[in-house]
A and B are shown apart, each in its own frame.
Chain A
Amino acid sequence: MNWRVLLAFVATATLFGEVNSEMLLNSREHPENWLTYSGGYHSQRFSALDKIRPANVKDLELKWVWRPRYLDKMEATPLVVDGILYTVQGNEVVALDALTGRAFWTFEHQIPPAANAYLLVVKGLAIAGNTLFWATYDGHLIAIDAKNGHAIWDHVLVDWHKGLQLNVAPLVVKDKVILGPATNEYGVNCWIAAYDVHTGKELWRFNTTPGADEPGRETWPGESWKHGGGSIWVTGSYDPQTNLTFWGTGNPNPGWNGDPRAPGDNLYGDSVVALDADTGKLKWYYQFTPGDEFDWDSVQVPILADVNWKGQPRHVMLWANRNGFFYVLDRESGKFLLGKAFVKQNWNVGFDEKGRPMKAPDFKASFEGKYIEPGVQGGTNWYSPSFSPHTGLFYVSTWDNYSAISRKSDPGPWKEHTKYAGNGSRRAPLTQTGRINPAGRPVSPTYRTEEEGYGAVRALDPQTGEKRWDFKMVDYTESGILTTGSDLLFSGGREGNFFALDARNGDCLWKTSLGGTVASGPMTYLVNGRQFVAVAGGAALYVFGLPE
């Protein structure tokens, strides 16, 4: 046990099981716990734990499995507080002994199956004090007593009948729980809001599609702002030094046909917004894809890092976007520092001095079909990336050599709880690219060549955006990434494998098969001096550790 871990135990001894603001602010000093969706306010998914090392990782063995009563793929990252693991799937939240997997309690909330707009998924929970927060798919925010699993309060934030849903893991900052809804292409405007942790009362709200009298409204012609979307799909980050909270936003609606909202950038779609955590006031924003027509949501977790930038210490934000570009922004001012493609792309010919992308001249959705790189799923997506302060590298799950033919359709007039997407069939006709097989169809990963698309864990140098190494898979990957103080990297993918790489060079040091897609972010924790790694694969949570 290193001194930091020892100190952390001493510091928390008097508050066992309770998560106070100091713990959240200094989560790096409490690596035995995993206190937020992304492992800490900077969202690096880096843990200082180093009991599991390159030299012994080959000895990892399965310790326990939690099998929820639902078949949907699990995307949640658990929380761990002083030996108790909290997680969520389907209709239930559970508190499990992190050592054995035995349940202390189960809390249930029945989600109507009809509420499902695509995938009945949930990303995870938040905790403050002894209270867990669950944003349910059908629009409730429920505060749950972490000791007994009883509801403390339960507020309906959104009406799923109107085309909104909640599936983010909330973020607790001081006395506020922050989150926002998403619309799965129903053209309902979304927001980010803060609620009082004690009462659930709404304290502030920032509209991700501006209201009638709000700045940004001018980027929407006519009445188009009324159905602009701007979903919140993943959890934001928080910088205590500036008291700013950062959130990525989803695509403008209708997603695949920009005609009803052109001309205009359609703020704050496909952006990162920096909000004052006390008031929700916008400090700055950066829009990655202005006037997007290809579903390139900015549904990525903002990674905050303090780096040496061109000889000067700088507080930056690292962001690999669905549009295929890796960005470095100054997180105090929002200033654009770097934008570089990390996968094959055909939409952007460069950036102006302010960091605004310059679209290729003919890059416009069409009824006949537009060939796009990356394809609609993006160069990456919501899968949590990682930054290791040890290696100084940024790690992202990528889809490369991936393309699509995107066809728009007439979305018609907006109607409540009716898809407002404007997407035609994304059929792949014969192309000259050589990446579509002669039958004119995309190829299943079972038979696919690398030229037809592949997934990878990709290590980027944040200083340049250049690739340092790849760990390639045949299939694409939806897995998040974890790095540790011993320079291990854990990740998985759709192939069902879960593996440990050397974070310095990408060498595979250990692997196992979980039999189902890994579509969650691995996390790590310490109990009784023993380190564990947890990851969801298929519809179950698996926990690994070293032999006793």
Chain B
Amino acid sequence: MNYNHAQRFLWGLGAMTLLVSAMPARAQGLPEGKGKEQFERICRSCHPVDIATRTRHDKDGWTGVVEDMVARGAQGKQDDLKQVVEYLTTNFGPNNPMGTSTSAAAATPAPAPAPKVDESASKPGDAAHGKELYAANGCSGCHQVGETGSRVGPDLTNIGDNRSYEQLQQAIVAPDQEVLPENRYARVVLKDGTTVTGRLLNQDGFSVQLIDSKEQLRSFLRSGLREYTILTKGLMPSYSGKLSTSDLADLTKYLASLKGDSKP
């Protein structure tokens, strides 16, 4: 959790506490469920959450609403935004009854989520061998799985939950194809010529926050920089041609097996 998220989270906690005491009619009705925390934290910073829950949309509709909000400045990682969409679709989908407040939705239990289907189960590959390849190729030099590895690159602990088998395979052979905004790197050049590269954690008109290659949290005032560049590509080497077809399948299978709760 970076500073910005931590701050918003604390605000969110404060908001929830205060809401219960000061504005019971406006938030007590939110149904419980996965994604509620993200929904309140991200959306609440601009508008009351009940305003979003007075309408009903299917998944495509809520995806559109959430993306529109991001275009207007809502802040969140793609995983968090995805959870917001899931939460809204589950609790405020076309089949949930309408009400003028959230209490109507709350009074009606949300339909039980469909049992998760492991889509990668039918895909080729040997996850155990993939794990060996992961270690042998030095992936943990940048990535973290559970407690192991570096925090500099994207955390892969839950990657099997968030990315499809095909997306994971593509990320190995053509990592530049899709770099999520929260995985962008930035390069700063200080006035004395020192260059620091790291994953971008936050920025505003006055300063920039990174985690550098030594996993140090760094903050720079823009006024002290000679150069500041956000790198949207070229963060990871392509393993195209470096792995055999079967090794690629094994590694992909291993990544697809990473679901966070199960031990890697």
Contact = CB atoms under 8 A, between A and B. Distances in A.
Contact of A449 (B7, B51, B205, B232): B232
A495 B71 contact: no
Given A113-B50, A426-B71, A497 B63 contact: no
A55 interface: no
A45 interface: no
A69 B48 CA distance: 15
B7 A515 contact: yes
A73 interface: yes
Contact of B177 (A113, A376, A438, A495): A438
Interface stretch (A163-171, A333-341, A360-368, A440-448): A440-448
A493 interface: yes
B48 A72 contact: yes
Interface stretch (A247-255, A259-267, A315-323, A469-477): A469-477
A425 interface: yes
B71 A442 contact: yes
Contacts of B11: 516
B205 A427 contact: no
B23 interface: yes
A473 B203 CA distance: 9
A472 B68 CA distance: 23
A447 B181 contact: yes
A422 to B, nearest CB: 14
A71 interface: yes
A319 B186 CA distance: 38
A427 B25 contact: no
B71, B76, B202, B203: residue with the most chain A Cβ atoms closer than 10 Å = B71
A448 to B, nearest CB: 7
B80 to A, nearest CB: 10
Interface stretch (B14-22, B129-137, B188-196, B236-244): B14-22
A396 to B, nearest CB: 17
B68 A427 contact: yes
B153 to A, nearest CB: 15
A444 B76 contact: yes
B22 A446 contact: no
B198 to A, nearest CB: 13
A116 B47 CA distance: 10
A497 B207 CA distance: 11
Given A449-B230, A473-B204, A497-B204, A426 B68 contact: yes
Contacts of B4: 446
Query: Looking at chain A, what size class is its interface with the partner chain?
Result: 35 or more
A497 B51 CA distance: 27
Contacts of B68: 376, 404, 425-427
Contact of B65 (A116, A425, A444): A425
B166 interface: no
Interface in B1-49: 4, 7, 11, 15, 18-19, 22-23, 25-26, 44-48
A258 interface: no
Chain B facing A: main interface SS: mixed
A3 interface: no
Nearest to A441: B67
A59 B178 CA distance: 47
B78 interface: yes
A73, A419, A442, A516: residue with the most chain B Cβ atoms closer than 10 Å = A442
B184 interface: yes
B60 interface: yes
Interface in A69-120: 69-73, 113-114, 116-120
A20 interface: no
Given A444-B181, A515-B7, A425 B203 contact: no
Contacts of B7: 515
A169 B67 CA distance: 32
B72 A517 contact: no
A120 B23 CA distance: 13
B75 A446 contact: yes
Interface in B126-182: 177-182
Contact of B72 (A377, A443, A471, A493): A377
Contacts of B18: 71
A442 B230 contact: no
A113 B51 CA distance: 10
B205 A493 contact: yes
A113 B204 contact: no
Contacts of B50: 113, 116
Nearest to A118: B51
A473 B205 contact: yes
A471 B19 CA distance: 36
Given A441-B78, A474-B204, A494-B73, A447 B46 contact: no
B70 interface: yes
Nearest to B26: A113
A447 B61 CA distance: 25
B79 to A, nearest CB: 12
A376 B73 CA distance: 12
B225 to A, nearest CB: 14
B81 to A, nearest CB: 8
Contacts of B51: 116-119
B204 to A, nearest CB: 4
Contacts of B74: 444
Contact of A475 (B15, B55, B60, B204): B204
A497 B206 contact: yes
B4, B22, B55, B72: residue with the most chain A Cβ atoms closer than 10 Å = B72
Nearest to A442: B71
Nearest to A112: B25
Contacts of B64: 407, 424-427
24 contacts: A113-B50, A114-B25, A116-B50, A118-B51, A119-B46, A119-B51, A407-B64, A424-B64, A425-B60, A425-B61, A425-B64, A427-B67, A437-B181, A437-B232, A438-B177, A438-B179, A439-B180, A441-B70, A443-B70, A447-B181, A449-B230, A493-B205, A495-B206, A497-B205
Given A119-B48, A444-B74, A494-B73, 15 more contacts: A71-B18, A113-B101, A376-B68, A407-B64, A419-B55, A427-B63, A438-B178, A438-B179, A439-B181, A447-B200, A474-B204, A475-B204, A476-B73, A495-B204, A515-B7
3 interchain residue pairs of minimum CB distance? A425-B64, A442-B71, A447-B181
Interface of B: 4, 7, 11, 15, 18-19, 22-23, 25-26, 44-48, 50-51, 55, 57, 60-61, 63-65, 67-68, 70-78, 100-101, 177-182, 184, 200-206, 230, 232
